[in-house]
Structure 1
Amino acid sequence: MKIRTRLTLLFTLITAMLLSIYSVSIYYSSKEAREKSFYSELQNEAIAKADLFFQSSLPEQEMHKLYKNNNRTLNEVQVAIYDSNNRLVYHDDAKVDYVKEDREMLSEIFQKKKITFFSGKLQVIGIVYHHSGKSYAVTAASYDQYGYEYLTHLLTISIVAFISILVLIYLAGIFLSKKTLSPLSEMVNQIKKITAGRLQWRLKTTKENDELNELAQSFNGMLERLENSFDAQKYFVSNISHELRTPLSAIITELELASEKKQTHEEYQQTIQRVLEDARNMAKLSNSLMDLAKASYDPNEISFSEIRIDEILLESYAKIIKENSGYKVSLNIEDTVEEQQLIIQGNEYLLQVAFNNLIDNACKYSPEHTCSIDVKILSGKLHIRFSNRGIIISQEDLEHIFEPFYRSENSKKEKGYGIGLFLTEKIIHLHHAVITVASDDKATVFTVEFSI
């Protein structure tokens, strides 16, 4: 079922429920009001007949005649009067006694002073009337024909109005839901046209500050991210293919040459060493790509825990020195840095990969193969500076230094793939930290800032 139909039916159902409650309330309120009003009329009629009987000179026969004449054109109230001994004093028409007063009823009237009840379709009231120091029980009964006709008319009008309003509400619901959801239908038609090759398309947005416009803007934002992701993936695959092709071509060439002609033992050893070096380069590239894949996970899927920055720096320091005996690394943590300030929420493996890259880069591009690491607290943040003295990075290269597979002219003299700094930046951002770089004739400094 479409949302439009569902909304229309739901709106109609709610309206039907509210109208039903309102109509039933009106009907039963009118019914109670009619009942109370007619009891009041009966009481007035009972008192008027009693006054007429006891205080006027009108003969009883004339009163009977008056009752019968009125009863031909309308439902005349039938009144009966009994004394305290339960003897009948007066009755409009004793032959047609509507109430059938008995001793128990009369006793209740004298005791309660006033009673009301239904006798079939007739309403009956019984009251105590006082005259000349004596008490009399007066009953009055009649059928409220006008009142019941009014209720029937009210019920008919309510039913007709209920059905008419529901039909109008349903039609109005269809029209309004169609008009309200038309932008959504247009949005769906636009989305159907978007494919992997048309990610540059965007949904139309308006200046309206409503949910549909917000949905369109959010969807456009998602398309923007997908387009960037697809472009990055194409660029990534293209560069990976190029980077893998070089060592693979070298390995194939070396092996083909070795298989085509006989070589001495030393020449075979040299061939094996060259192939082994190319294979190690491929393994290193493969490991970098695996680390890059891990850093590209959804942050919600990466496990974070309390870790100490100084311990991770020491592990990276030890690992780099072990793999490159010619490197010189110094670690300096200011005395003002407290132990608690070195604890952050992070992923130990990814941070170690980032620090390894920064230390390795600093040593690799320094003529003396040195890296100085300084840890301090500045403006309430933990600052870690990786600095070296050596090649100055130009301003143009600084603007692209964190792009994937980007390598400056100065860096092409050293082995690398242009993945390390791109990977490092992603890891630092995953930890809600900031990495910056500055280079001059004094030093090249990478600074990482952690909030504490």
Structure 2
Amino acid sequence: MKIRYKLTLLFTLLFTLIICGFAFFIYYSSAENREDEYFKRLKQLAITKTNLLLDAKVAPDVLQLIYKNAPNNLFQEEVAVYDTAFHLLYHDAVNIDKIKETKSMIGEIVAKGEIQFNQGQLQAVGFLYPYKGRDYVITAAAKDEYGLAKLSKLRFILTVSVLGSLLLTIFAGYFFAKRALKPVAEMVDEIEELSAKNLDQRLKVTDSKDEIAELALTFNRMLDRLAHSFEAQKEFVAHISHELRTPLATVIAELEISQNKERTVLAYQNAIALALKDARKLARLSTSLLDLANANYDQAVISFKELRLDEVLLDARNEVLQHQPEYKVKLIFDQEAEDDDFISIRGNEYLLKIAFINLMENNCKFSEHKESTVSIAYDRDQTILRFVDQGIGISEADRAKLFEPFFRGGNQHYAEGNGIGLALTKKIVDLHHGTIVVISEPGEGSTFILTLRHI
């Protein structure tokens, strides 16, 4: 069901409940008021007729004659007067006797002083009436034809009003819901026109500060992120193609040259060595790309556990030295850990080890003595790691782009690389909610400072 129909339905139901409750209150209050007023009228008329009988000494047959000759005697109030011993002193119409008084009824009136009750559409009242030292029991009954007719008319008016209001509410609710959701419908039409070819198109944003405008702004910001992601993906694919093209072309060229004519064993060995070198470069590149893809996963997908950073650093150091025996990596504790928690974090051991290996290898590659010094320190909230080299340094222009994928700075001639390592390290640090900064000047070496919140 569309939102406009839901809003119309909910609005109609709510208004129906309110108007029905209001109509019921009016009708119930009017009915109660009519009944109370008519009971008072019955009692007053009964007292008046009793005073004519007892005080004015009007003969009973005269009063009965007046009752019989009334134009609406069918609905006229019928009065009866008894003494407390249930002796009938007067009755307007004994042959009709609308309420048919009994001895028990008279006894109840004497005991309670007054009773009121309904008998079908008849209203009846009985009460004790003192007169000149004696008590009399008076009953009066009649149908409030005029009052019931007015009540019936009121019921009809309220019913018609409720139904009319209900129909008006349905049409008005639909109209206003449609009008209120018109910007959403227009937004849907604009979104349907979007595709990968026109991601630069944006939704129209009104000057109002309502939720629709906020939704459009939020969606436009999402489109900005998607457009940036698509551009980054295109650039990423272009870089991969470029990085893969060179070693593959070299391998193919070497193998084709070797295949063209017979050569000496030494020539074949040299060709195989060159092809093997390029194949290893391809293997390192594919491994780096896979690690970069893993680092882009959401934290909820990657398993985290409690780790000691010094142990991860030692594993990373051993792996670096195993693959590059000429490298030198020193581990230094700036301060003694008073508690294991000071150098422990929650993280992914595999990814952190990759980040540390990249920083160590980066230090060693760009320093004359192939050396990296890693120091560990901590404060109350975080563990601080410094990866220091005494190498060629990094220019200010290169530092601004240092963590971008496939970026190779002005020192790329100094050592081989594919521009993925530092970008991958930055993503891994971000994934662990840490920070990484670089301090470097050309000719003065580089220091990478990495901070991670400890347990």
Q: Same fold judged by TM-score > 0.5?
A: yes
> Is the aligned partner of 1:62 residue 2:51?
no
Matched residue SS, 1:7: helix
Query: Offset of 1:382 from its aligned partner?
Result: 2.5
| Superimposed CA distance per residue, residues 15-53 of structure 1 (whole angstroms, 9 cap, x where no aligned partner) | 112211221222122222222221122122222222221
Indicate conservation of the 8 Å contact 1:365/1:411, yes or no: no
Query: What is the identity, as a one-letter code, of the residue corresponding to 1:342?
Result: I
2:406 is the alignment partner of 1:405: yes
Q: For residue 226 of structure 1, what is the aligned residue in structure 2?
A: 226
Match for 1:171: what amino acid? F
List structure 1 segments (4+ residues) > 6 angstroms apart after TM superposition.
none
CA displacement at 1:245 relative to structure 2: 1.2
> How many residues get paired?
452
2:163 corresponds to 1:163? yes
User: SS of the residue aligned with 1:129?
Assistant: strand
- Percent of paired sites with the same residue: 42
**Residues 82-97 of structure 1 correspond to what in structure 2 (within 5 A)?**
82-97=82-97
* CA distances 1:213-238 after superposition (whole Å, capped 9, x unpaired): 22112211211111111111111111
1:263-304 deviation digits (Å, cap 9, x = unpaired) = 223322222222222111111111000000000112222222
Query: Which has the higher mean CA deviation after the structures are superposed, 143-152 or 4-13?
Result: 4-13
SS class of match (2:427): helix
Shift of 1:88: 1.3
1:135 aligns with 2:115: no
Note closer, same or farther for the CA distance 1:379–1:393 as it changes in structure 2 (3 Å cut).
farther
Q: Larger deviation: 99-108 or 169-178?
A: 99-108
Aligned-partner SS, 1:70: coil
SS at match of 1:72: coil
Closer, same or farther in 2 for the Cα pair 1:73/1:63, shift >3 Å? closer
Letter matched to residue 224 of structure 1 = D
- How does 1:229-244 map onto structure 2 within 5 Å? 229-244=229-244
Matches within 5 A, 1:300-339: 300-338=300-338, 339=340
Gaps of 5+ in 1: none
Indicate conservation of the 8 Å contact 2:313/2:353, yes or no.
Answer: yes
Question: Which residue in 1 is equivalent to 2:194?
Answer: 194
Partner of residue 360, structure 2:
359
Alpha-carbon deviations, 1:316-371, whole Å to 9, x = none?
Answer: 11111111111111111122544321111211111111111000010011110000
- Paired with 2:333 and 2:52, the residues of 1 have a C-alpha distance of 117
Matched, 1:444 2:442: no
Deviation at 1:79, TM superposition (A): 0.4
Q: How does 1:253-402 map to 2 (within 5 A)?
A: 253-338=253-338, 339-377=340-378, 380-402=381-403
Matched, 1:428 2:429: yes
Deviates more, 1:371-380 or 1:229-238: 371-380
Select between 210-219 and 150-159 the one with higher mean Cα deviation. 210-219
Task: Give the Cα separation in 2 of the matches to 1:26 and 1:349.
Answer: 76
Shift of residue 107, structure 1, vs aligned partner: 2.7
**3-state SS of paired residue (1:274):** helix
Preserved contact between residue 291 and residue 424 of structure 2 (Cα < 8 Å):
yes
Q: How far apart are residue 379 of structure 1 and its match?
A: 8.0
CA–CA distance in structure 1, aligned partners of residues 156 and 326 of structure 2? 103
Which consecutive unaligned segments of at least 5 residues does structure 2 have?
Answer: none
Hey, what does 1:185 align to over in structure 2? 185
Q: Which amino acid is the alignment partner of residue 370 of structure 1?
A: E
1:131-176 CA deviation, whole Å, 9 max, x = no partner?
3333222110111012101111111110111122112222221221
> In the TM superposition, what is the alpha-carbon distance from 1:378 to its structure 2 partner?
5.6
Supply the distance in 2 between the matched residues of 1:407 and 1:424 (Cα, whole angstroms): 15
Q: What is residue 33 of structure 1 aligned with on the other side?
A: 33
Query: For the Cα contact (< 8 Å) 2:67–2:73, is it kept in 1?
Result: no
State the secondary structure of the residue aligned to 1:79. Answer: strand
CA contact (8 A) 1:109 1:128 kept: yes
Q: Which residue does the alignment assign to 1:45?
A: 45
Contact 2:78 2:92 in 1 (8 A): yes
Structure 1: how far apart are the matches of 2:374 and 2:412? 21
Report the TM-score when normalising by structure 2.
0.94
**In 2, Cα distance between equivalents of 1:168 and 1:120:** 38
Compare 100-109 and 137-146 and name the one that shifted more.
100-109
Distance between the aligned counterparts of 1:209 and 1:376, measured in 2? Answer: 49
- The one-letter amino acid paired with 2:93 is D
Partner of 2:98: 98
The 3-state SS of whatever aligns with 1:301 is: coil
* CA distance in structure 1 between the aligned counterparts of 2:59 and 2:243, rounded to whole angstroms: 130
SS at match of 1:194: coil
SS of equivalent residue, structure 1 residue 299: coil
1:228 maps to amino acid: H
- In the aligned structure 2, how far is the partner of 1:286 from the partner of 1:451? 31
Q: Is the 8 A contact 1:78 1:142 kept in 2?
A: yes
Contact 1:435–1:448, Cα closer than 8 Å, also in 2: yes
Note closer, same or farther for the CA distance 1:315–1:281 as it changes in structure 2 (3 Å cut): same
The one-letter amino acid of 1:401's match is L
| Cα root mean square deviation, aligned | 1.8
1:20 equivalent in alignment to 2:34: no
Find the residue that maps to 1:126 and give its secondary structure.
strand
Amino acid at match of 1:70: A
Match in the other structure for 2:78: 78
Give yes or no for contact 1:434–1:450 (8 Å, CA) kept in 2: yes
- Between 1:113-122 and 1:89-98, the stretch displaced more is 113-122
Q: Which range is displaced more, 395-404 or 69-78?
A: 69-78
